[in-house]
Structure 1
Amino acid sequence: MDQVLGQVLRNAVWERLDMLADLADRADAQSLVSVARSELPRLTEGWRAMLKAHEPDERGDCPTCSTRWHRCKAPCSVWQAAHEHLVAGGLAPQQTASAASRLRPGRRRAAVPGQPSPAETTGRHALVPPRRATAPA
């Protein structure tokens, strides 16, 4: 039962991240401002809670990543990922990455360029209208 609940929780988090990535790529400016005001505080609090759990102990070990037999020295992979995505990523040259590159592994967009995926045609995100295929000009 724990595995089922764990999978449900993981799926919900991945879907939320996918939705936010879609919004960042496709929502209009007014919707983006609204989402930023509601989601940025939640995301920063989530990062803070996760980083607090990985704060090094008095020996410089991560108490969450360490086991009885293997001590994990700080900074652990969680702190490294936080730095990469929150600090270093902001300084890196901007790349034109598609939204598909941000989707979790195994998730795919439409197989045919310009054609909406099944999820996009169901209106799963209220703030983002489904993309419409355009005829070549």
Structure 2
Amino acid sequence: MDQILGQVLRNAVWERLDRLTDVANDADAPALISVARSELPRLAEGWRAILRVHEPDERGDCPTCSTRWHKCKAPCSVWQVAHDHLVAGGLAHFQHSRRYRRRRAESTPDETNTSTTPATRPTGRHALIGRPHR
């Protein structure tokens, strides 16, 4: 049940991001201003909430990304992605994405893994392992 609920939650988030991208690309100026005024503060607060849980501890480790056996030094990947998208702009994002996709491809289990049943496997366009960039 948790897997199904998780997939529903993920799909809802991906759909919302898709809608916002569509509005940014297709809306007229008054609609775009209205959406920007309502959504930008929410998105900024969402980033703040995510980044708060990835603030380094007194040892300089990310408490969220670290495990008992592997400590993740700050800045963790969440902070790096935030910087790439919010500060550095497109070029840093492009370079990070290529590195991430290469690393992800090397570590992704093969497709023959049957640990999920057909009923719990994600379906539809949001079932992709890596999101395509628009």
1:85 correspondence with 2:85: yes
Aligned twin of 1:13: 13
1:72 correspondence with 2:72: yes
The sequence identity of aligned pairs, in percent, is 77
Task: Tell me how many residue pairs correspond in the alignment.
Answer: 98
Which structure 1 residue ranges, 4+ long, deviate > 3 Å from structure 2?
A: 103-107
Report the 3-state secondary structure (helix = DSSP H, G, I; strand = E; otherwise coil) of the residue aligned with 1:65: coil
Relative CO higher for 1 or 2, CA cutoff 8 Å, sep ≥ 6?
1
Distance 1:89 1:106, change over 3 A: closer
Query: 1:60, 1:68 → 2: CA distance?
Result: 15
What is the TM-score with the length of structure 1 in the denominator? 0.66
Query: 1:106, 1:88 → 2: CA distance?
Result: 21
Report the 3-state secondary structure (helix = DSSP H, G, I; strand = E; otherwise coil) of the residue aligned with 2:89: helix
Gaps of 5+ in 1: 93-102, 110-137
Structure showing greater Rg: 1
1:39 correspondence with 2:44: no
Query: 2:82, 2:131 → 1: CA distance?
Result: 23
Report the 3-state secondary structure (helix = DSSP H, G, I; strand = E; otherwise coil) of the residue aligned with 1:3: helix
Q: CA RMSD in A?
A: 2.2
Higher helix proportion: 2
Query: 2:81, 2:131 → 1: CA distance?
Result: 21
What is the TM-score with the length of structure 2 in the denominator? 0.68
Cα deviation, residue 45, structure 1: 0.3
Query: 1:52, 1:37 → 2: CA distance?
Result: 23
Matched letter for residue 12 of structure 1: A
